[in-house]
Amino acid sequence: MTDAIDRYVAQLADRLGAGQDTWRLLAETDGHLRDAQSALQAQGMDPAEAAELAVRRFGDPAAVAKARSPRRRAVGLLSGGWLVVSLGLVVIGLSGLVSWGLEAIWGPAFLAGDVNGVTYTAARCADFQGFFPEAGSCAAAAAMHHSDEIVSERLAAGILGLVLLAAWLLVRRLRGAVPIAREDRRMLLVASAVAFLGVGLVGFGWGALSVILDLVRGLAVAGVGVRLSDGAIALVAGVVAVILLARFLRRGVSTPPMPSTPSAPTGAPA
């Protein structure tokens, strides 16, 4: 059965985030509130009323959470930002895999061919055909060059994201979870959802519109695959971020299990 103190500590934990420093602060807060409750009970107050009064005197949990050191919050925000950037790079790497698949199915021109009417100088065509002599034309060589750059750059970003994510997990394993305040967690989720959905809607919408316009005008569909792949993966990531944000906002505050602490020795054995 929980009382006002248990609920207060749970709300404070939810705002501070997980971490060893947080557990110590929660244990200290719980101990201080229990001492205050005991003192009030000694004056004849009911236990539940004593807990309520002790909590009111201690202060609002949101204000207490914000009063922690700026350095501690900065470290937590840095950890959350590192994770978001790492996952963002991994998402870019996934779009590279999708681009690779589109190139294999419909060819380099669909993925990264130049829009209709684009031409190159003779020198530039010679450069492209020097890289891809098997292309057969300047336009085909340019499309192969562009698609190679698109796929390789996105895959490289994905590999970098995996390295950064592995580093984040290693630090977390060695040093323990870095506490991220509730308001910072919410901000990172909102920023991720807005960024991914914005990129996805613009990229996929632009790509789909380009396909429709090319078909209506009777032109060859070219250079739309990269926008479709980037937009589709970004939309998926945005939907995932929205789901996580909705679950975060909907989740109620529950009472966390307090870490066990060894009891002080009561004395030497007789």
Tens-digit pLDDT string for the chain (270 aa): 567 878 777 776 766 655 555 666 677 778 878 888 888 888 888 888 888 888 888 777 766 666 555 666 777 788 899 999 999 999 999 999 999 999 999 999 999 988 766 888 999 999 999 999 998 899 899 999 999 999 999 999 999 999 999 999 998 888 766 667 777 888 999 999 999 999 999 999 999 998 898 888 887 788 899 999 999 999 999 999 999 999 888 875 444 444 444 444 444 343
**Structure token digits, residue 93:** 């790497």
151: number of Cβ within 10 Å: 24
Dist CA 77 CA 191 (whole Å)? 13
So what's the pLDDT on residue 53? 85
pLDDT at residue 50 in the model: 84
> What letter would DSSP give residue 177?
P
The helix or strand, by DSSP H or E, that contains position 140, with its residue range, turns out to be: helix 138-175
Using an 8 Å Cβ cutoff, are 214 and 116 in contact? yes
How many other β-carbons are positioned within 10 Å of the β-carbon of residue 182? 18
Q: Rounded to 10 degrees, what is the CA torsion of 103, 109, 111, 113? A: 150
DSSP 121: -
Contact (Cβ atoms closer than 8 angstroms) between residue 156 and residue 150: no
